[in-house]
Amino acid sequence: MQPKDFHAYKWAKKIWEAATPTASRKPSLSSCKDMSMSELAGDITVGHKNQLEDDTPPPTYEFASKAQAEDEKTMPGKTYELLEIVAAENEEIETKVYWFLLEILAMTFSVDCGKTEEARIDLHGEDSGLANSSSHFLSAEYSATLKELCTLVRDLEENLRLGREMRRQDKQLLMKILHKPCQKNRLDLAYVLEMLGRYETFPVGTGEDKRTLIDYWAPRSLPSGSLQRKVVGKISPSHKYSMMDLADTLKSHDAVFARLQKKWPNQLFYAPLKYGIDNFKKERGFENLPISKQMETELAAPWKSCFWPLTDEYIDLTAALMADEYMDFHGDTHKRLRKARNLRR
């Protein structure tokens, strides 16, 4: 074969190999070099004829849809294995959410959980998910589940804020865990979501520190420790609304605590928690902080179920989660308070 025919030969060889079964390849590939182009083309035609006469069905192929491929590209398959276990335990979901919120309250207000141990065992028995600890209600396993729940909330909030699509299975998982417990205990889902989303624990030296919703709304210039009480009474006018947001948050946390107490009324169990919350406020000079006029108005209303403040991000997240499938009983309240906040800016 002449060099000028090399590319033609190479092209014809590929077609011949693809079209002709191995057993039917006559003459051999090595002899193709000695064949004319017309002879080679004729043999390829025979190969095509043999293939068409074969009754063996062609192989089937499955192609992922364009939407599925795009989802895999933009929304990698992050898993929440511990939450999947919780979601499968229908009868236990409400109890776990109860302990998750109680843990956040205890950590927020530095409650001595050890003082509730005797009453807790009388009330709940030796629950393996609970810890015999002065700083935590939850065992290591339950704490890991709570951490995963907070991570899921933050992931969804971030996706919505950045204009990325939220995975349907993630939204369904979160609503499976939170919707009914919030509805049954008359808790504002948006407020619970923000409590979870703003809650984070992290190691510091040999100990542990945390960030909470109270920390989020506290003015950044407030000192910590004993100096805080002296400063609160002399707060500058520029921090007036920040202190009202903090006061409203403390009031709303009180409302969450009051709702949780109705699940298992037991004063011996809740008394140490109430003392811890009251002591936290007293040490920091937060006992008599004035709440906002909007909060006063909502609390005076017949439903008295105001949970405020909320950031726009978590109001939007709640609306996105409840769209088309759930009724948002607090939606109108959110709109009123959001409008009032925008006006004061």
What lies within 8 Å, CB to CB, of 318 at 6+ separation is: 189, 190, 193, 328, 334
Peptide bond between residue 219 and the one before it cis (omega within 30 degrees of 0): no
CA–CA separation, 35 vs 39, rounded Å?
A: 6
55-107: pLDDT as tens digits:
554 444 333 344 344 555 545 568 999 999 999 988 889 999 999 999 999 99
Distance of CA 207 to the CA centre of its chain: 26
What is the pLDDT confidence band of residue 50, given thresholds at 50, 70 and 90?
very low
Instruction: Find the helix or strand (DSSP H, E) in which 120 lies.
Output: helix 117-124
Name the residue with higher pLDDT: 264 or 248.
Answer: 248
264-290: pLDDT as tens digits:
878 888 998 999 999 999 998 898 899
Q: What is the pLDDT of residue 14?
A: 52
Task: Measure the CA angle with vertex 196, ends 193 and 199; round to 5°.
Answer: 145
Q: What is the pLDDT of residue 17?
A: 59
pLDDT of 226 > 50? The answer is no
pLDDT of 20 > 80? The answer is no
What is the pLDDT confidence band of residue 13, given thresholds at 50, 70 and 90?
low
Most confidently modeled range among 27-31, 44-48, 308-312 = 308-312
Positive/negative CA dihedral, 238, 212, 106, 228? negative
Two structure tokens written together for 177: 């865990």
What is the pLDDT confidence band of residue 7, given thresholds at 50, 70 and 90?
very low
171-216: pLDDT as tens digits:
999 999 999 999 999 999 999 999 999 999 988 777 788 999 999 9
3-state SS class at 113: helix
